[in-house]
Amino acid sequence: MRFAPLAMAGLLLAAPAASAQDSASTEASAGMRGGSMADLVAKGYEIKAAVANGTRYIVFLQKDQSAYACEFVSVTKSRCGSIN
């Protein structure tokens, strides 16, 4: 299964919209967030790929038919969002 190229394309297309969504603090946008990468790994999600994005890394996780992309904000903090 070739998950990473499709996920990267989707992430690049949604990048401007994701920035605007993060600045909004509504319940709807909070529902779309996956929490932290540690939470997703604890729920059974597996790391499928990681790519450099400037000085940050984007990590793609998948479990069954559900997938998330997580961006490392700092060494100990990540923010994740559903990509499907």
pLDDT in tens, 55-68: 899 999 999 999 99
Q: How far apart are CA 72 and CA 76, in angstroms?
A: 8
Provide the pLDDT for residue 43: 94
Instruction: Give me the domain span that covers residue 68.
Output: 3-82
Task: For residue range 5-43, list pLDDT tens digits in order.
Answer: 444 544 444 444 444 444 333 333 433 466 889 899 999
The DSSP output letter for 24 is: -
Provide the pLDDT for residue 69: 95
Least confident range from 1-5, 69-73, 75-79: namely 1-5
Quote the number of domains for the chain.
1
Provide the pLDDT for residue 74: 82
Residue linked to tokens 């069954």? 64
